[in-house]
Amino acid sequence: MLNVPTPHINANSEDFAETVLMPGDPLRAKFIAENFLTNVQNISNTRNMLGFIGEYKQKRVSVMGSGMGMPSIGIYSYELFYYYNVKNIIRIGSAGSLSDDINLKDIVFAMGACTDSNFSYQYGLNGTFAPTASYNLLENSVKTAQELGFENHIHIGNILSSDVFYSDEKNLKKWADMGVLAVEMEAAALYMNAAKLHKNALCMVTISDCPLKNLSLDSVERERGFSNMIQIALETSVNLEN
C-alpha cells in the first residue's frame, strides 16, 4: 500500500488486524498486549506510540495507543483506516461521569458523541454533523457485555468529547442537564473519521472519575484497572472476525 509506513506509524502494510483496540495510553496498549494476547509482536513504536499485533482465542487482533485529544486520535485513526485498511476501531478509554447514576469503574458505550471541538470544520458542511457509533459494533459489544454478566455496570447513550480536560463545573452540568452521560476527549474525532472513510468505530469508556462528585481513580488503576472493558472489546473483536 502507498505511503506505508506513515509519518506516525512505522508498521508494514499487513501488520494490523482488521480490528484495532485503541486506548489513549500507549502503556495501556502494552499492558493489554502482554496480559491478554498471545504471539504478540510490537509492530509500531514511532514517538513511543506503541502498537501491537497478537491473537485472542486464535483470532488476530491489534491494539495501539491513540494519545490524548481529538487531534491525536484523529491522526492515528485516519492512518489506520486509510493507509492500513483497518475496518474497525474500538476505542477503550477512560471518562468522567456526568450522571448521578454512573459510578467509578462503570462502562459507558457511546452511542453518540457531542463535542465542543471544531474538528468537523474540515468537511465544509452547511450544518452540524452528529458523530455516532457504528451500530453493528455497538450492538455486538453491548450484547457481549450482557453475556459476560456486566449488565448492571454498563450504560448506553450520549457522551461529550471535549477539547478541555479541566472544564468548568457549571459547563459540565449544562451537558449533564441534556442527558450527556460522560465526558472524554477522543470519540467524536474517531467517529467522524470512520464516517468520512466508510469504516466502523465504537467508543467504550470506563469511568475513571466523577468530576461532579470529586471522585477519581489513581494513575495505576487508570492504566491497569479496566479489565472488564478490555474483555468486552476483545470478545467483540472475536465475534466480528467470525
Catalytic machinery residues:
209
Peptide bond into 26 cis (omega under 30): no
118-125 CB contacts, 8 Å cutoff, 24+ apart: 119/70, 119/74, 119/188, 119/189, 119/192, 120/192, 123/192, 123/196
Q: What is the DSSP string of 171-238?
A: HHHHHHHTT--EEESSHHHHHHHHHHHT-EEEEEEEEEEETTTTEE--HHHHHH--HHHHHHHHHHHH
Phi, psi of 200 (to 5 degrees): -115, 140
Q: Hey, what's the cell of 198?
A: 466508510
- Give 32's contacts (C-beta < 8 A, 6+ positions apart): 21, 23, 52, 63, 230
- Bridge partner list, 44: 51
**Cα 99 from chain centre:** 20
**Cα 96 from chain centre:** 14
